[in-house]
Chains A and B, each alone.
Chain A
């Protein structure tokens, strides 16, 4: 079938999908939605509809990014009203079926927003939501809107037009287009995608490879997972365009094994591409051939590094090697290889469709386009967002993210995962782009953004990241293998109350050495969380070392729980739930509740279950030194 004919068929299918002859229910069932109970809610809808002999078209879609409100369900009625409901539970399903589907009452009290042309009184439109207003969705253009397992939905919304255009162009021209769009690698380092392709194209070889790096290993980052689960074709189309541009006939997607749903979606999408002539021989009549294979990672963070990733595909230990030779010269099996991140490729497909100038109209002078972020931590609206480069951190955290949880004080935001740094409040008005983040000692990274509040201990955060990098260090080069071990040891000593004054300079000196001398990006960036917290939150380190006090009351060896007799209602919940019987007291006869420090393991259970805030958590008054 010719592309025009496929497109026509796709248009028809998309129109039919949006006609709603019978009610249509969209279930957001990416991993986030599933974790929040989307599948149970789906089942409940089926039951409730069957019980009332109602028919509806229930379709699974991906992630809208409003993760805080998961599970999200959109209901569309034949009259054209489309309403999205958040935090739907098995309890609210019967109400939605009865009130909205049967009686036409949209229940604004349960609704989040509307979609499409038709407005509904009392419910804002999706685009007007505070979380969405400042977003520009390029990578997430189809997320949560289309059925990710339906190729026609993707095509009807402009999909594969970019590939169709590209294969009619000279590959050099395709590279020019990407270069002039200003697209930089979204994996973190921010190297120009077009220049990278140009290098791979320039090396002559009988066999070349292109790899999509979907080994999203940064803890706290889930942009790539969401993109692959919600719109796999957007990434695969970009991969095919890249392959054409550099002259590769073999492509791989290297995906984390921890993302089973994303892998299933990819495999399904690749089959559909083959069936419709977007893969295989003579793609869209251009004479260009390509196969794509999915390779699963096996749980090694370092495999996100290009040379380690290739070693892993070759069936070896995923250890990096020195460069040069660069992958573009001698990569997978010694052949020229180009590696791009998931988000980069999802941008490529839309750039080829809508043009470089359109893409470059977003962003700052040196960082064009948009960036997706996974907003998490102590923030009200956690979720997946996409904003134009150059937006300020304040806009992201307070407007899009809705500010800090429980109205607490903002302390820092961590970008770039274990390779990034903690940015304090004084830089909240800084524009977010590659170069500005680097100036304050952090990095863009792949897009994890973890917000910390007054209850987050910055020494503990640094220790957390170091325990991660120390564990994931592959052990090949000494600075990283030994350096991360020693850095972690020093931080553990400090958080456990055994810190010495000289540790401060030692941390700094050793951190700089590991940065300067490690073989790959993992080691070179591992000290960033320490160096930034030392720079911006030195006082917290000093409190731990000199006063044996944890100002955020996180470090277990320096905190104490006790009962505040005044608000205490003698309810006994703390005693009941204490796992080690460290609390005594009773209601009848009234005997005050007391936490016995020698038995207490500081698990925090009493603190979290007390309904009257009568459990005190203190640090520094009487300090229990660790053994």
Chain B
């Protein structure tokens, strides 16, 4: 186990209840959950690796491969859908030349669809990293992508 991983794990209680918070912390630190990290977590919590994969793959939050430097999330919640969210998704996808769930070959962008940010009043919404862009139009997509 690397020193970095040990540091992340050290602050958690060694029981099953900690599993999801631990996975969140590991992903927060390394960007994704690597096989080595799963091995380390299994040791630390005394939970089998297969159980950890079982849990981690159940939740959409966890990633198992490196993602891009910038995470582009297009909201396809109900309000965004009604106000044209899927058009925004198509446009972003066309610009970045990747589909939802993929990462550009240069690891600059990853694209994700999200079910709702709770900013429905400003729909349609796109979030890049932590910045929220409300009242989106297909045309705005180009300018926003250029910001990064």
Residues of A within 8 A of B (CB): 31-32, 34-36, 67-68, 70, 216-222, 225-226, 257-260, 295-301, 312-319, 374-378, 382-384, 414, 417, 448, 450, 452, 456, 461, 464-465, 468, 472, 474, 577, 579, 601, 603-605, 608-609
B87–A603 touching, CB < 8 Å: yes
B87–A318 touching, CB < 8 Å: no
List chain B residues, Cβ under 8 A from A604. Answer: 84, 87, 138
The reply to whether the CB of B146 lies closer than 8 angstroms to some CB of chain A is no
Stretch of B2-10, B18-26, B64-72, B103-111 that contacts chain A = B18-26
**Alpha-carbon separation in the docked complex, A382 to B78 (Å):** 14
The reply to whether the CB of B1 lies closer than 8 angstroms to some CB of chain A is no
**Alpha-carbon separation in the docked complex, A36 to B119 (Å):** 10
List chain B residues, Cβ under 8 A from A465. Answer: 78
Least CB separation from B138: chain A residue: A605
**Min distance, Cβ A584 to any Cβ of chain B, angstroms:** 20
B78–A608 touching, CB < 8 Å: no
A219–B17 touching, CB < 8 Å: no
The reply to whether the CB of B145 lies closer than 8 angstroms to some CB of chain A is no
Residues from 88 to 109 in B contacting A, C-beta threshold 8 Å: 90-91, 94
| Residue from the list A220, A226, A318 in contact with B78, Cβ < 8 A | A220
**Alpha-carbon separation in the docked complex, A100 to B32 (Å):** 50
Mask of B118-145 contacts with A, CB within 8 angstroms, 1/0: 1111110100001011100111000000
- Decide: A383 near B121, CB < 8 A? Known: A295-B21, A377-B78, A609-B139: yes
Q: Which of A32, A217, A218 has the most CB of B within 10 A?
A: A32
A298–B61 touching, CB < 8 Å: yes
- Decide: A221 near B18, CB < 8 A? Known: A36-B134, A257-B24: no
A-B residue pairs in contact (CB < 8 Å), sample of 22:
A35-B122, A68-B121, A219-B79, A219-B80, A295-B20, A297-B59, A298-B20, A298-B60, A298-B62, A300-B59, A317-B55, A317-B58, A376-B120, A382-B120, A382-B121, A382-B123, A450-B82, A461-B82, A601-B90, A603-B94, A608-B137, A608-B139
Mask of B19-44 contacts with A, CB within 8 angstroms, 1/0: 11101100000000000000000000
B122–A67 touching, CB < 8 Å: yes
**Min distance, Cβ B46 to any Cβ of chain A, angstroms:** 12
B60–A32 touching, CB < 8 Å: no
**Min distance, Cβ B91 to any Cβ of chain A, angstroms:** 7
**Alpha-carbon separation in the docked complex, A523 to B112 (Å):** 25
**Min distance, Cβ B27 to any Cβ of chain A, angstroms:** 9
A258–B139 touching, CB < 8 Å: no
**Min distance, Cβ A574 to any Cβ of chain B, angstroms:** 12
**Min distance, Cβ A157 to any Cβ of chain B, angstroms:** 25
**Min distance, Cβ A452 to any Cβ of chain B, angstroms:** 6
List chain B residues, Cβ under 8 A from A216. Answer: 118
- Decide: A32 near B82, CB < 8 A? Known: A298-B59, A318-B59: no
A452–B61 touching, CB < 8 Å: no
List chain B residues, Cβ under 8 A from A312. Answer: 20
A315–B119 touching, CB < 8 Å: no
Least CB separation from A471: chain B residue: B115
| Residue from the list A226, A301, A315, A461 in contact with B115, Cβ < 8 A | A301
**Alpha-carbon separation in the docked complex, A225 to B121 (Å):** 13
| Residue from the list A226, A296, A377, A608 in contact with B79, Cβ < 8 A | A377
| Residue from the list A218, A300, A450, A601 in contact with B60, Cβ < 8 A | A300
B82–A456 touching, CB < 8 Å: yes
**Min distance, Cβ B103 to any Cβ of chain A, angstroms:** 18
Least CB separation from A448: chain B residue: B78
List chain A residues, Cβ under 8 A from B138. Answer: 603-605, 608
List chain B residues, Cβ under 8 A from A318. Answer: 58-59
**Min distance, Cβ A89 to any Cβ of chain B, angstroms:** 13
A32–B16 touching, CB < 8 Å: no
B139–A577 touching, CB < 8 Å: yes
A296–B24 touching, CB < 8 Å: yes
B77–A70 touching, CB < 8 Å: no
B77–A219 touching, CB < 8 Å: yes
Known: A314-B16, A377-B79, A448-B120; 14 extra A-B contacts, CB below 8 A, are A32-B121, A36-B134, A219-B77, A219-B116, A220-B77, A298-B23, A375-B121, A382-B120, A382-B121, A417-B78, A450-B120, A456-B82, A605-B139, A609-B139
- Decide: A300 near B87, CB < 8 A? Known: A258-B114, A377-B78, A383-B121: no
**Alpha-carbon separation in the docked complex, A316 to B48 (Å):** 12
A315–B16 touching, CB < 8 Å: yes
**Min distance, Cβ A417 to any Cβ of chain B, angstroms:** 7
Interchain residue pairs A-B with the least CB separation, the first 9: A67-B121, A219-B77, A222-B118, A315-B19, A220-B78, A298-B59, A376-B79, A382-B121, A35-B132
Q: Which of A68, A383, A579, A609 has the most CB of B within 10 A?
A: A579
List chain B residues, Cβ under 8 A from A376. Answer: 78-79, 82, 120-121, 123
Least CB separation from B47: chain A residue: A315
B59–A35 touching, CB < 8 Å: no
**Alpha-carbon separation in the docked complex, A299 to B62 (Å):** 9
List chain B residues, Cβ under 8 A from A68. Answer: 121
**Alpha-carbon separation in the docked complex, A219 to B83 (Å):** 13
List chain B residues, Cβ under 8 A from A461. Answer: 81-82
A35–B24 touching, CB < 8 Å: no
**Alpha-carbon separation in the docked complex, A455 to B17 (Å):** 47
Least CB separation from B77: chain A residue: A219
- Decide: A70 near B122, CB < 8 A? Known: A35-B132, A579-B94: yes
| Residue from the list A225, A295, A299, A456 in contact with B61, Cβ < 8 A | A299
**Alpha-carbon separation in the docked complex, A461 to B24 (Å):** 33
**Alpha-carbon separation in the docked complex, A308 to B59 (Å):** 12
B119–A35 touching, CB < 8 Å: yes
**Alpha-carbon separation in the docked complex, A498 to B78 (Å):** 25
- Decide: A296 near B21, CB < 8 A? Known: A225-B118, A608-B139: yes
B62–A222 touching, CB < 8 Å: no
A315–B77 touching, CB < 8 Å: no
